[in-house]
Amino acid sequence: MNRSLSYLTSIAIFVAFAVFVALRQRSPFNPDAVLGYQNLILEGFINTIIVSVIALIGSVILGFVMFLLSASNVRFFKAFVDVFTEIIYGTPLLVMIIVMAFLIGPAFNSFNRPVLGVIGIIIYITPYMTNVYKSVFKSIPDEQYMAMDLFGFTGYQKYRYIIIPQVLRMLMPPFMNNFSLIIKGSALLNVLSFHELFFTVSIFQTRTFAYSEGYILMWILYIIITIPLSQMTKYVERRWSLE
């Protein structure tokens, strides 16, 4: 079987499986139920993208700060980042969001749950971002730094013309992978009644009782965002690879 045929067949199998599951539900499958709720669901769809972009930007920045701390010579900073990372690695995202919204936020007199939830996601993804920075900076071999020294590049020139242009290319694919994690993770913000995709579809379901329709729609909408993203990641990886 050739490549495209193999892929088309595989996709067809999964679609057939989804259709089978939809038809096996006890209530009749009625896609028209969504009429009248498309604006609500679109709002959730857009909100999911917005909070994910905010969480991406926040974690890219905070991850870089943590990377700088861990790369510093001050032992306390390193220890601080290590302890932080261990705590986050041991925490489920759902727990992180709840702790942030119902414990940490109120302790600082903040009760804006959506904002606290997004902060929770940012903090949760930050150590993963820090690791991305670590591995990317480590992947520039020592000899390249020696060559820069030998030619007499200044510190600024090294970063401006050699290190940063390389690092930016290498950072993109893992950033995009983490973005996909964030989008999927943002569904958990529904526990804070934030109007993201999962929550708006739930509203639609409770009002129309179109549960199976809602679940399938929700699933499809997440995949509509994440699969093109992962394909784009693969493309960027191939296109920008330096090896």
Residues within the interface to another protein (CB under 8 A): 141, 143-144, 146-147, 149-153, 157, 161-162, 165-166, 169, 241-243
Q: What tokens appear for 171 in the block?
A: 């950072």
Q: How far from each other are the two terminal CA atoms of the chain, in whole angstroms? A: 31
Q: In the bound complex, what is the minimum distance in angstroms from residue 149's beta carbon to another protein?
A: 8
Q: In the bound complex, what is the minimum distance in angstroms from residue 57's beta carbon to another protein?
A: 24
Identify which of residues 61 and 147 has a Cβ nearer to another protein in the complex: 147
Q: In the bound complex, what is the minimum distance in angstroms from residue 231's beta carbon to another protein?
A: 22
Instruction: Count the neighbouring beta carbons within 10 Å of the beta carbon of residue 179.
Output: 22
Identify which of residues 31 and 165 has a Cβ nearer to another protein in the complex: 165
Give residue 5's identity as a one-letter amino acid code: L
Q: How many residues appear in the chain?
A: 243
Identify which of residues 35 and 150 has a Cβ nearer to another protein in the complex: 150
Nearest to 66 by CA among 76, 44, 83, 81: 81
Q: In the bound complex, what is the minimum distance in angstroms from residue 135's beta carbon to another protein?
A: 16
H-helix or E-strand spanning residue 67: helix 38-71
Return d(Cα 33, Cα 215) in angstroms, integer: 13
Q: In the bound complex, what is the minimum distance in angstroms from residue 142's beta carbon to another protein?
A: 10
Instruction: Count the neighbouring beta carbons within 10 Å of the beta carbon of residue 216.
Output: 19
Identify which of residues 64 and 240 has a Cβ nearer to another protein in the complex: 240
Identify which of residues 148 and 225 has a Cβ nearer to another protein in the complex: 148
Identify which of residues 132 and 148 has a Cβ nearer to another protein in the complex: 148
Return d(Cα 95, Cα 93) in angstroms, integer: 5
Identify which of residues 137 and 153 has a Cβ nearer to another protein in the complex: 153
Return d(Cα 184, Cα 177) in angstroms, integer: 11
Under a CB-based contact definition with an 8 Å cutoff, are residues 210 and 33 in contact? yes
Q: In the bound complex, what is the minimum distance in angstroms from residue 236's beta carbon to another protein?
A: 14
Give residue 224's identity as a one-letter amino acid code: I
Q: In the bound complex, what is the minimum distance in angstroms from residue 107's beta carbon to another protein?
A: 46
Return d(Cα 3, Cα 11) in angstroms, integer: 12
